[in-house]
A and B are shown apart, each in its own frame.
Chain A
Amino acid sequence: MKDVKRKYVNYMPFDYEGIEDLLEREARAGWHLEHAGALFWTFRKGEPVDSTYSVVYRPKVSAYDPDDADPVAEFDSFCEEAGWKYVSGRGKVRIYRSDEPDPVPIDTDEELKLKSMRKSILGSYIVPMLLIVVLLNAGGSGPLCILKRPASVLSNYNGMLSMAVTGTLTLMVLLSFIVFGLWLKKSTVSVRDGGSCASTSVFRKGYKIFEVLILLFAALWCLAFAYEEGAFFGIIGAALILLLILFVMGVGQMTERFRAAGLSKAANMLITIAVVVVVVGALTQLVTWSFYTLEDGKWDRDGSQMIMKVSDFREDAGRQYKYSHRETGTFLMSLKEAEQEETGVSDPDAWLYDLSYEILKVPSGNLYDRCLDQWIKEGIGFEWLDGNEKGTGYREKDAADLHADRAYSYYWNGEEDGTWILCYPGAIVRVETTFEPVASDLEKIDEKVAAAL
């Protein structure tokens, strides 16, 4: 039988009752906490004991500062006098154990205990988690993406599920802030009236449900990635998640080791930040590399599936092309993308003939309007700073002679650029070309698209 087991443990930071209940349950079953890691806790097999565990919050203790060693040791010696032994801890949260029957609690003043918890959690949890929420959403990968880029996110399960992961995580963090605030208020009133802190079991089940959902969405995202882009990319996705988990586990251990070795607080924090930046940078590079590998691998089509080609618009005898074709879809919408790109031209100043189109099938309504809005706004791009003044962006064209209900043409510095958006019932089509547009191009595009829809 194993002597050591590792268990995934994750509670809201103020849920000391949940942690204590878990540890006491494990102790009664003969498993005693040896080390509390970032995500996985180590238990060692021993005799079943009716131990009492106590989670203590020390706001003045830093995860980085070796100079805390003496005050921490002094505090521990006080606890030892009362029959409590320090077991493990992370930063401001320390776990003690007593095997005596009915031991005097470490914290007997509820007001002081509440104050210590508030300071510890505000400093070491709220601020970093707020930063994570901001980074998740500011980088364009958060749930707000659904409002800003629905056509990109909701037309494939890969995008939809990555939004589900970040959205669920964001919601879980925000809800836990709210719950903590409510618990704090309730506890403050209770303690002021001579009672004890409120129960921390509120939202415990909800928190676990969110965790399960995040893991489920992450697993489904890997599968969707594999299904839509190929098994190789599914493996990349799973590897990214695994690397992230190992990283979270490793950073905490590294910080603890530096602290134990006596490295100064400033140096410890600096190295930790540097490691985080390097690792996040490396993971980003891995994502970028896999994206470019995906892009490079897409040129494997013969063009037979294209509904329109360069030759429909311009004389292109003698020119050579490569083609790509991609289709994705979810229960909300589907996207068909095709590209024809000229190749085999050595002259760097030569004008290449490229054509690409996207056909987004989405039911008319609010979602349709948002997708159209996304594509029109994407056309503004980096030119927006002075573009609108010089006439850069999409302008609506007269669609009276077209099958399309509406048509837009992209203008660059006041001149048509060879990019169009056409709106049909249940479909939006975007076409980009690199050749000089002429008046008849829009009608030809409309004929080809209407025939294909």
Chain B
Amino acid sequence: MARDKFKTLTEQMYYILLCLRKERCGTDIMKDVSEMTAGRVKIGPGTLYNLLEQFAGAGMIVETGSEGRKRSYVITEEGQRALRAEYERLLLQVKDFEA
């Protein structure tokens, strides 16, 4: 079944938004996600660039500044809602497994 855009988040989307709960430079996210997940989740630079563009277009993140070509972002209220919704969906899945 096709996923509606951002109605559910892929693992990579989830961790990008998670990282952006604090203001971060876009290119640092790749390293941060890898560290956060002990290397389990890897985000390629092309995917990161495209997802940041899409998140910004959907109002889920906002650019906070730029230094040369490096731009910083932080998550918005809209992004927080999507992240929480995904978190709760994952919790339900865990509960269903444990039941």
A binds B: yes
Given A108-B12, A109-B10, A112-B51, does the pair A78, B46 have CB atoms closer than 8 Å? yes
Q: Mark B2-20, 1 if CB is under 8 A from A, else 0.
A: 1000000010100000000
Q: How far is the CA of A71 from the CA of B45 in the complex (A)?
A: 13
Given A75-B49, A77-B69, CB of A107 within 8 Å of CB of B44:
yes
Q: Which residue of B lies closest to A79 (CB)?
A: B45
- Closest beta carbon of chain A to B39's beta carbon, Å: 10
> Could you say which of A70, A84, A111, A192 contacts B45, with CB atoms under 8 Å apart?
A84
Chain A interface secondary structure, helix, strand, loop or mixed? helix
Chain A residues with a Cβ closer than 8 Å to the other chain, count: 22
Within the complex, what minimum Cβ distance (angstroms) separates B19 from chain A?
14
B50 at the interface (CB under 8 A from A): yes
A310 CB–B CB distance under 8 Å: no
Bound Cα distance A116, B2 (Å) = 17
Q: How far is the CA of A107 from the CA of B26 in the complex (A)?
A: 16
Contact of A82 among B2, B10, B44 (CB under 8 A): B44
A136 interface residue, CB < 8 Å from B?
no
Given contacts A73-B69, A77-B69, whether A112 and B47 have CB atoms under 8 Å apart is yes
Q: Is A106 within 8 A of B44, CB to CB?
A: yes
B2 close to A104 (CB less than 8 A): no
A436 in the interface, Cβ–Cβ < 8 Å?
no
B27 touches A78 (CB 8 A): yes
Between B26, B46, B49, B51, the greatest number of chain A beta carbons within 10 A of the residue's beta carbon is seen for B46
Question: A residues 47-100 with Cβ under 8 Å of B?
Answer: 56, 70, 73-75, 77-79, 81-82, 84
Which residues does chain A contribute within 8 Å of B49, judged by CB atoms?
74-75, 78
Determine if A78 and B42 form an interchain contact, defined as CB atoms under 8 angstroms apart.
Answer: no
Q: Are A75 and B2 neighbours in the complex by a CB distance under 8 Å?
A: no
Is A105 interfacial (CB 8 A cutoff)?
A: yes
- Please state if A107 and B47 are interface contacts (CB–CB under 8 Å): yes
Residues of chain A within 8 A (CB-CB) of B44 are 82, 104-109
**Which chain A positions have C-beta within 8 A of B27?**
77-78, 81
For residue A70, which residues in chain B have a CB less than 8 angstroms away from its CB? Answer: 69
A108/B69 contact (C-beta < 8 A), A78-B27, A81-B30, A192-B2 known: no
The answer for the CA separation of A218 and B26 in the assembled complex, in Å, is 52
Q: In the complex, are the beta carbons of B2 and A108 less than 8 A apart?
A: no
Residues of B within 8 A of A79 (CB): 45-46
**Chain A residue with Cβ nearest B25:** A81
A82 and B30 in contact, given A108-B44, A109-B10 (Cβ under 8 angstroms):
yes
A81 to B51, CA, bound (A): 17
With both chains docked as a complex, state the minimum distance between the C-beta of B80 and any C-beta of chain A, in angstroms.
22
B12 → A minimal CB distance (Å) = 6
| Interface hits, A102-138 → B, CB 8 Å | 104-109, 111-113, 116
Most A CB atoms within 10 A — which of B48, B51, B71? B48
Which residues 136-194 in A have Cβ within 8 Å of B in the complex? 192
CB atoms of A78 and B51 under 8 A apart: no
- CB contacts (< 8 Å) of B30 on chain A: these are 78, 81-82, 104
Q: Which residues of A contact B46 (CB under 8 A)?
A: 56, 75, 78-79, 106-108, 112-113
Q: Is the CB of B47 within 8 A of A108?
A: yes
B70 at the interface (CB under 8 A from A): yes
Would you call B43 an interface residue if the criterion is a C-beta within 8 Å of the partner chain's C-beta atoms? yes
CA distance A192 to B45 in the complex (A): 22
29 A-B residue pairs with Cβ-Cβ distance under 8 Å, sorted by A, are A56-B46, A70-B69, A74-B49, A75-B45, A75-B46, A75-B49, A77-B27, A77-B70, A78-B27, A78-B30, A78-B48, A79-B46, A81-B27, A81-B30, A82-B44, A82-B45, A104-B42, A106-B45, A107-B44, A107-B47, A108-B42, A108-B43, A108-B46, A109-B10, A109-B44, A111-B10, A112-B46, A112-B47, A112-B51
Q: Given A104-B42, A107-B46, 11 more contacts at CB 8 Å?
A: A77-B27, A77-B69, A78-B27, A78-B30, A81-B30, A81-B45, A104-B44, A107-B44, A108-B42, A108-B47, A113-B46
- A-B pairs with lowest CB-CB distance, top 9: A108-B44, A78-B45, A106-B46, A81-B27, A82-B45, A109-B47, A79-B45, A104-B42, A107-B46
